[in-house]
Chains A and B, each alone.
Chain A
Amino acid sequence: MTDISHIEKPRSQWADVWSQFKTHKGAVAGLTVFVTLILFVTIGPFIWTVDPTYINPNAAEMIRTRNKPPSWQFPLGTDQLGRDMLARMMKGGQVSIAVGLVAMAISILLGTLVGVMAGYFKRLDGPLMRLTDLFLALPLLPLLLVMVMLFRDPLARAMGPEAGTFLLIVFAIGVTSWMQAARIVRGDVLALKEREFVLAARSIGTPSRRMILRHILPNVVSPIMVSATLGIASAIITESALSFLGLGFPPDFPTWGRLLFDGVDYIQQYPERVMWPGIAISLTVLSVNYIGDGLRDALDPRIRGR
C-alpha cells in the first residue's frame, strides 16, 4: 500500500494522512456522500432553477399543484401550498448544512478550549467548571429569547437580515451546547496529564502551549470527533426549534429541520414529505460520522504506521 518507491521524495505529514484516509472504505464513502450533498445544495439550485418560495398566485392553479406526489414536473412532489419540494430541499440544505457545521465548530472549539484549560491548569479548573455548571443550569428557552431580543435587530442592521440571522443562530446554538464537550475533554485531560509521556515531556521542560498542542490535544481527538458528529445532528434540529421562537430565519424560508417538522403534520397523507428531510439529515450525520472515523484513524500515528 505505501509507496516505498518514492522514498527519495520526502512526503509531508498531510499526504500520509490522506493516503491512510483513502484506505478507509467507510470514510471514502462518507466523503463521497457528503460532497454529493454539498453539490446538491450548492450547484443544484443552478440546475433546478425553481424558486423554493414560489406559490402560484392564481388560486385555481395553486389548488391543482398542491400536495403533488413525485413526478417529472416535481421530482420530490409539492407541499401544501404547491411549493416545489426539490427546490425547498436544496435551499433548506444550504442553511442546514452551514448551520450544522458552523454551530458545531463553535461549540467544539469553545468546549475543547474550556475543557483543556480546566483539565490542564489546576487554577482554572474551579472557575471554568463552575461556569460550565452555570451554563448547564440556565433554562435554554428564556436564554434564547433574551438573545433574540438583544441582538437580532442590531445584527440585522449591521450585516443584513440573512447574514445577521445566520450569525445569531450559529452563535446561539454554539454558546448553548459546548458544555458537554468541555466536561468530556476535561475528564480525559485530567487522566492524560498523569500519563508517563506527559510527565516525560514536562520533565524536559516543554512549555505548556506546546504540551497542549502536541501531546494533549491529539489524544483527545476521538471524543471530540464523537461530539462533533452528534453536534451536527443536534444543531440542525435545534435550528428548526429556534424558528419557533421567532429566532430563526423568516417563516417562509425552508430549512431541513423545519421541513421535517412541518412534514410531521402531513405524515399520514404524504409520508414522503417527511422522509426527504429525514433522509437528508441522517445522510449528513452518517457521512460526517464516517469521515470522522477515517480522520481519527488517519491522524493516529500508531494506526497510520501499521
Chain B
Amino acid sequence: MKLKTALLGAAATLAFAPAAFAERGADGNVKVLYSQAVSIMNAYLSSGTKDVEVGSLVLEPLAGFDNEGNVIPRLVTEIPSVENGGISEDLTTITWKLTPGLLWSDGTPVTAADAVFSYEYCTHPEGGCAQAARYEGIEKVEAVDELTVKITWTAPKPNPFTAFVGATSPILQAAQFANCLGTAAPTCTEQNFKPVGTGPFMVTDFKVNDVVELAANPNYRDAAKPAFATMTVKGGGDAAGAARAVMETGEFDYAWNTQINPELQSQMEAGGKGVFVSAFGTLVERIEMNLTNPSPDLPEGERSTAKHPHPFLSDIRVRQALSKAIDRNLLVEVGYGNAGRATCNLVPAPALYASPNTDCIEQDMEGAKALLDEAGWTVGANGIREKDGKPLKILYQTSVNAVRQDFQALVKGWWNELGVDVELKSIDGGVYFGGDPGSPDTFQKFYADVEMYANNFDGTDPEPYLAQYLCDKAPKPENGWQGENVNRFCDPAYDAMVAELATTRDMDKRGEIAIRLNEMLTKDSYVIVPLVDRGRLSAHSNTLGGVVLNTWDSELWNASDWFRIK
C-alpha cells in the first residue's frame, strides 16, 4: 500500500512537472500572434517593440532583466558587482565573464570578440543604430581574453547595466555581420532576417511584416530546452483579433499586447480557452500641460515657444484644478480594467524610485472649482468661466485610439462641469508621433493647450527619463522641434537636481532624488498630470505553460521555459 502511494505520488509529480523532464523539441509547435508584424530580427536596426522582442528569441544580450526588474545572467557566469570585483571601485569599468563552452547556433564558439564587435556595430557613426543610447558614455570596450569583456566608461557610471543588458542590446555574431558595418548595415538583408544567435530558437523562414518561422537552436546552452521544436510568430491585424485567436478560437497559443476593452476581456476569459496575463512596468498615460501659448494668432515660429507664456495654464491653480477634476479610477475601469491602475506619478516603478504620492486619486470637483474661483476665473453667462472677458477654453489633443477617445470624452465632461470649455482633437498616430517639423500636429510642436499620450523608460533606471525635462530639452524652432520636454517646463532647481542625480552613486540617495524630481513635475507643479499606470496585457492559451510576463525586458524573455500542458 505504501509503495503504491509512493508510486502514485511519483507519477503525479511527473505529470505536474513535465517541463522539468522534457527534452528539447518534445512539445512540437507553438504559435504566437503579434498584432504588429515583425519587420526585422536585428534590434539594432529597429527599435519597434515587436522587432526587439521577437528578435530576442534568437539574439541574446550578456544579461537580462527578470520579471521583477533584477539583472539576471544569460551568457555570463555571474552579474558583476562592486562586491565580486566585476565593477571597479570608482564605477568606471565593468567586466563580464562569458560562460565557457557557449556556442552560436551554427556551432562556433561565442567569444568576447563578438561583444566588442556588437559595440562597434552599434556605435558606427554611419550605421544609424537604433539602440545607440544603450552604449552612451562608453570610452572603450575590449576583449581582455577569449571570455572576458571589459567596458570602460568615460565617467563613473552608477548604473552600468545598459550596454549588453536587456533585449535592446544583444550580442551579434562577429563572423556573420563582419561586412555589415556602417552604411552596409541595411544591405545585409540575409543577416538581419536570419541572424545566428545564442537564443533558444533560430529563424528558418522570415516573411517581412508577416510571419517568422523558428526552430529550436540545437546548440542552446540548456540541453533540455526549449521544449518546443518549432515556433511560429504570425503578425498583423488588431488587438481584438489577436485576443480572439487565443481566447475564443484557440488557433494560437500566445497573443502579444491584447489591449481590448475590459468588458470584452471578461467575456473572452469566460470562454475558458485561455487566460489574460498582465504585469506593470513604467508606462504611464498622462496629460501634459503646455506652459507656452499655442495661440494660432501668434506668428509661426513663436507659437508654443518660451517667448509667450500660456495665458492661463501658467497659473498652477488652473493646472491643479484640472487635475483635481479627473476621476482616475473611472478612467481605468472604462479603458483598461485589470491592465491599468490609477497613478499620480510619472515614475510608477521600480519601488526604489516610485513616489508614495496618491493625492490625485480622489476626484475633488468642489476643490477644483474653489481653486478656479480663487484664481479669478468666474462663471460667465453660458456656464463657461472667464477672466478679464476671456473664456477658459482648452484645446485637448491626442492620437487616434479608441481608449484615448473615450478618455478625452470623459475628461471633457468633467472639465465642462468645472466650467471649462473643451475642444477635442485627435490626430493620426503616424503624424502625431512622427516629429515631422513641417507638420503642425506633432506632439512635440504641441499646438494645443493640453495633450495626452503614454511614455515609459527603457530598463530600470529613470535617470535619462527624468532628464528629459531639462530647460534646454524643450522643442523649439531652433532645434527643429525636437526635444522631449514638450511642456516647455523650465526650473533651474530641477536642472540642478538632475545634475546631482547624474553624479550620485548611492542607490538609496538616487531613489530619493528621483522621487523628488518626479514630484516636482507632478504634485508640486501639475505640469504633468499622470492618469493611468498602464500594464502589459497579453493572452495565452490554457495549454501553454511557463508563461511569465515581464515588462522590464522582452516579453518572450523566458520562451525557452515554455512548454505544452497535456
Binding site for B on A (CB under 8 A): 53-57, 59, 62-63, 66-67, 80-81, 83, 145, 149, 153, 157, 161, 243-246, 250-252, 262, 265-266, 268-269
Contact = CB atoms under 8 A, between A and B. Distances in A.
Contact of A252 (B264, B327, B333, B412): B412
Given A63-B330, A80-B406, A252-B424, A266 B363 contact: no
Interface residues of B, number: 38
A245 B413 contact: no
Interface in B319-349: 327, 329-330, 333-334
A58 to B, nearest CB: 9
B378 interface: no
A61 to B, nearest CB: 11
B431 A63 contact: no
B423 A161 contact: yes
B82 interface: no
Given A157-B296, A269-B264, A81 B409 contact: yes
B425 A80 contact: no
A83 B267 CA distance: 22
A274 to B, nearest CB: 13
Contacts of B296: 153, 157
B417 interface: yes
Contact of A265 (B264, B410, B426, B441): B264
A54 B416 CA distance: 10
Nearest to B239: A265
B427 A246 contact: yes
Contact of B409 (A53, A59, A153): A53
A1 to B, nearest CB: 55
Given A251-B400, A269-B267, 15 more contacts: A57-B413, A81-B406, A149-B440, A149-B441, A157-B296, A243-B400, A246-B432, A246-B441, A250-B425, A251-B424, A251-B425, A252-B408, A265-B260, A266-B263, A269-B263
11 contacts: A55-B413, A57-B416, A57-B417, A59-B330, A80-B261, A244-B428, A246-B428, A246-B431, A246-B441, A252-B424, A266-B264
A265 B417 CA distance: 29
B439 interface: yes
Contacts of B334: 66, 80-81
B263 A55 contact: no
Nearest to A245: B428
B206 interface: no
A157 B441 CA distance: 16
Interface string B287-298: 000000000100
A142 B441 CA distance: 15
A295 to B, nearest CB: 39
A245 B267 contact: no
Closest 4 CB pairs of A and B: A55-B413, A246-B427, A57-B417, A251-B426
B410 A55 contact: yes
B405 interface: yes
A54 B264 contact: no
Contacts of B400: 243-246, 251
B135 interface: no
B263 A252 contact: no
Nearest to A144: B428
A66 B406 CA distance: 12
Contacts of B423: 161, 250
B240 interface: yes
A95 B417 CA distance: 26
A173 B264 CA distance: 34
Given A81-B334, A262-B402, A269-B263, A59 B408 contact: no
A59 B412 contact: no
Nearest to A57: B417
A148 B406 CA distance: 23
Contact of B261 (A55, A62, A245, A266): A266
Interface string B120-161: 000000000000000000000000000000000000000000
B273 to A, nearest CB: 15
Contacts of B441: 149, 246
B365 interface: yes
Nearest to A60: B330
B404 to A, nearest CB: 8
B453 interface: no
B414 interface: yes
A268 B400 CA distance: 23
Interface string B426-456: 1110011000001111000000000000000
A250 B424 contact: yes
B426 A246 contact: yes
A153 B447 CA distance: 11
Contacts of B327: 59
B264 A153 contact: no
A81 B365 CA distance: 19
Contact of A251 (B408, B413, B417, B440): B408
A161 to B, nearest CB: 7
Which among B264, B405, B413, B441 has the highest number of chain A CB atoms within 10 Å? B413
Nearest to A157: B296
Contacts of B438: 149
A56 B334 CA distance: 14
Given A265-B240, A265-B261, A251 B330 contact: no
A35 to B, nearest CB: 32
B425 A246 contact: yes
B74 to A, nearest CB: 39
A237 to B, nearest CB: 17
B250 to A, nearest CB: 16
A246 B398 CA distance: 10
Nearest to B405: A251
Contacts of A244: 400, 428
B417 A149 contact: no
A153 B330 contact: no
B548 to A, nearest CB: 29
Contacts of B261: 80, 265-266
Nearest to A262: B402
A59 B363 contact: yes
A266 B264 CA distance: 7
A304 to B, nearest CB: 50
Contacts of A145: 428, 431
Contacts of A59: 327, 329-330, 363
Given A57-B365, A246-B428, A269-B264, A81 B440 contact: no
**Max count, chain A CB within 10 A of own CB: residue among B260, B365, B406, B414:** B406
Nearest to B244: A268
A53 B428 CA distance: 22
B333 A149 contact: no
A276 B513 CA distance: 55
B398 to A, nearest CB: 8
A243 B365 CA distance: 32
A53 B417 CA distance: 13
Chain B CB within 10 A, most for which of A63, A81, A153, A243: A81
A217 to B, nearest CB: 40
Contacts of A250: 423-426
B263 A54 contact: no
B263 A67 contact: yes
A268 B263 CA distance: 10
